[in-house]
Amino acid sequence: MLALLSPLLGLLGSLLPSLVNVFERKQEISYDIELAKLRMQSDSQNAKAQLDIANVRADASEGESLRSHDMSIDGGKYLNALRASIRPVVTYSFFILFLAVKISAAYVMLKTGQSVPTMLESVWDAETRALFSTIIAFWFGSRVMEKMRYNNLNKQPQPIVTKKTSTPPIQNR
């Protein structure tokens, strides 16, 4: 019996390192596969980030190109003044139209015998308040945000100023 077990144990003993090598190789292959997946995922994310960066640079370049083109056009004193006045003129025109509509509505309501509180509720309604606050936030809020952004970008450490005394310290002699 021992004579039969010896060759069997010898055969199993020689196969055991091979079996261990098979399992180790299987783990190495699965590790390599996971590593390849992670690299592909990383490459994909890097490509997306590079594309986003390229798009931002293209947008900035386009804006700079448009601004430089606009600055290069010189139509003379009067044409340049007209070009610069278009946005303010449109803004003032719409504001005057808005005021005319609201004042007309208030006048008609008061002429027809409506009370002042009723007229004020109708003329200064929720939509008008929202529109008014949006306009104020656009014109003045954007300036505040630009100043905050400018200050944060250009923030430099402020030197510490200590108060100097007018008399020198007393020295022991």
Same domain for 30 and 68? yes
pLDDT tens digits for range 3-14: 666 776 666 677
Distance CA 172, CA 168 (A): 12
Residue 141 structure tokens:
């809020």
Q: Is the pTM of this model over 0.75?
A: no
Residue 166 resides in a domain: no
pLDDT tens digits for range 33-87: 999 999 999 999 999 999 999 999 998 888 888 888 777 777 778 887 887 888 8
Residue 44 resides in a domain: yes
Same domain for 69 and 94? no
Give one word for 98, left, alpha or beta, with left for phi > 0 and alpha for psi -120 to 50: alpha
Q: Identify whether the C-beta of residue 32 lies closer than 8 Å to the C-beta of residue 24.
A: no
Q: Identify whether the C-beta of residue 83 lies closer than 8 Å to the C-beta of residue 89.
A: no
Same domain for 64 and 103? no
Residue 22 domain boundaries: 15-73
The tally of domains found in the chain comes to 2
Same domain for 55 and 26? yes
Residue 41 resides in a domain: yes
Q: In the listed set 51, 73, 95, which residue is the last one of a domain according to the structure?
A: 73
